[in-house]
Chains A and B, each alone.
Chain A
Amino acid sequence: MSEPQAHAHGADDHVSAFERARMGMWLFIGSEIMMFGAFIAVYIVLRMSMPQEVVDYSKKQLHWEIACFNTFVLILSSYTAVRAVNAISKGNKGHCEDMLIVTAALGALFLVVKGFEYAGKFDHGIEPDHNVFFGSYFLMTGFHGLHVLIGVILLVWTALYVKRFDEHHYAHVENLALYWHFVDVVWIFLFPIVYLL
C-alpha cells in the first residue's frame, strides 16, 4: 500500500471510529428515553387517575417560577455545550475549555436551585411518601438531578483534560454534549407537565 493510500485508509478508520462512538451514545440515549419515558408515562396515568383536589393541593406546593428559572439555565447550558463542540471541531481547545466550564457552572447552578427547592419541601414535611403526586415528582426530578450531577462531574473532568486532547478525542466532547442535551430535553418535558399543567 502506498503512503497516501495508507494515510487515506487511516483517516477512514478514524471517521468510522468517530461514527461508531456517536452511534453508541445514541443507543445509550435510546435506553434513557425508555427510562424517563416510562416515568413520565406512569406520572401521566397516575395524574389522570388522581382526585382533582390532590392535584390542586400538590400544585400549590410547587414554585413554577423557580423551575422556570432552571429551564432557562439548562437551555443556556445546552447552548454553551454545543459551542464547546463547535470550538473543539475547529481545534480551538481554549475556547472549548471555557465553554465546558461555563456549562458545568450552569449545571451546578441548576443543582443548587433544585437543592433549595427540595429543602423547602422537606421543611414543610413534604417527602416522597406525602402523596402519589409527590412520589412521582421526587422520582422524576430526583433521577433527572442525578443525571445533571453526573453530567457536571464529566464536564469538569473533560474541561480539566481537554487541552491534552488530540483530534481523536473530538468524539468524547461530542458525546458528552449529546448526554447534556438529552438531560435538557428531559427537563423540557418535566417543566410543563409537573409544574405548569
Chain B
Amino acid sequence: MSDPANKTIYRNVMLALMAGTIITVFVAFQVNLGRPGNLFVGILIAVVKATLVVLFFMHLKYEKRWWLGLVLFPVVLVMIILFSNFPDTGLNGEEFVSPAVEKVEHRAAKPGGAR
C-alpha cells in the first residue's frame, strides 16, 4: 500500500487551511457585508477548507469516484433538515400565533364573545 499523495501536497494543504482560518477571522471582523453576507462568506471558506481536508488528507481524491456519494448523500440529508426548518426562522423570538387562533381570539374580543 503506498500513500497516493506526498509530503509537499500535505504541507501545502496545511498552509492553505491556516490561511483560510486567518481569512475567516479577517472577514468576520474587518469586512462588513452585512450579517447574512459575512455568514455566507464564512461558511463558504469553511466548505473550501473541509473539501481540501476530505480530498487530500482523507485521500478521497484518490478513491473510487462513487465513494464521494458516501459523503455527499448525508450532506444532502442535512441540507433537507436545514432548509425544511427555514420557515421557522423568521420568528425572531416572537411567539407564533396561527391565523386560526388569531381568528378565535379576535372573535372572543368582540362584544358578546366567541361562541
User: B88 touching A68 by the CB < 8 A rule?
Assistant: no
Q: CB-CB contacts of B1-33 with A at 8 A, as 1s and 0s?
A: 111011100110110011001001100110000
Chain B residues whose CB sits within 8 angstroms of the CB of A197 once the complex forms = 28, 35, 38-39, 42-43
Say yes or no: A181-B91 contact (C-beta < 8 A), given A30-B73, A37-B77, A41-B78.
no
Q: Is the interface of B mostly helix, strand, loop or mixed?
A: helix
Chain A residues with CB below 8 A from B104, complex form:
none
A50 and B70 in contact, given A45-B86, A189-B46 (Cβ under 8 angstroms): no
Contacts of B77 in A (CB 8 A): 34, 37
Interface string of A145-186 (1 = CB under 8 A from B): 000000000000000000000010010001001100110110
The answer to whether A75 touches B21 (Cβ under 8 A) is: yes
B45 touches which of A23, A38, A192 (Cβ 8 Å)? A192
Indicate if the CB atoms of B25 and A45 lie closer than 8 Å.
no
- Let me know if A178 and B58 touch, CB within 8 A: yes
- Shortest distance in angstroms between A25's beta carbon and chain B's nearest beta carbon? 10
- For chain B, the count of residues having a C-beta within 8 Å of the partner chain is 51
By CB atoms of chain B within 10 A, which of A38, A81, A188 has the most? Answer: A188
Please report whether the interface of chain A is mostly helix, strand, loop or mixed according to DSSP. Answer: helix
Q: Which of A29, A86, A178 makes the CB contact (< 8 A) with B7?
A: A86
The proximity string for B residues 49-71 relative to A, scoring 1 for CB distances below 8 Å and 0 otherwise, is 11001101111000100010011
A51-B24 in contact given A185-B50, A192-B45 (Cβ < 8 Å): no
- A residues within 8 A CB of B98? none
User: When the two chains form the complex, which single residue of A27, A42, A45, A50 contacts B92, counting CB atoms closer than 8 Å?
Assistant: A50
B43 is contacted by which of A42, A68, A182, A193 (Cβ under 8 Å)? Answer: A193
**CB <8 Å contact, B53 and A78:** yes
Q: When chains A and B are docked, how far (Å) is the Cα of A178 from the Cα of B55? A: 11
B97 at the interface (CB under 8 A from A): no
B108 touches A (CB below 8 Å):
no
Which parts of A31-52 form the interface with B (CB within 8 Å)? 31, 33-34, 37-38, 40-42, 44-45, 48-52
| Cβ of A64 under 8 Å from chain B | yes
What is the CB-to-nearest-CB distance from A114 to chain B, in angstroms, rounded to a whole number?
17
* Chain A proximity of B4: nearest CB distance (Å): 9
The chain B residue with its CB closest to the CB of A34 is B74
Residues of A in contact with B (beta carbons under 8 Å apart): 15, 18, 22-23, 26-27, 29-31, 33-34, 37-38, 40-42, 44-45, 48-52, 54, 64, 68, 71-72, 75-76, 78-79, 81-83, 85-86, 89-90, 167, 170, 174, 177-178, 181-182, 184-185, 188-189, 191-193, 196-197
Closest 5 interchain pairs by CB?
A37-B78, A48-B89, A51-B93, A196-B28, A41-B82
Query: A41-B85, A196-B29 provided; 10 other pairs, C-beta below 8 A?
Result: A27-B70, A37-B74, A48-B86, A89-B1, A174-B59, A184-B57, A185-B53, A188-B46, A189-B46, A197-B28
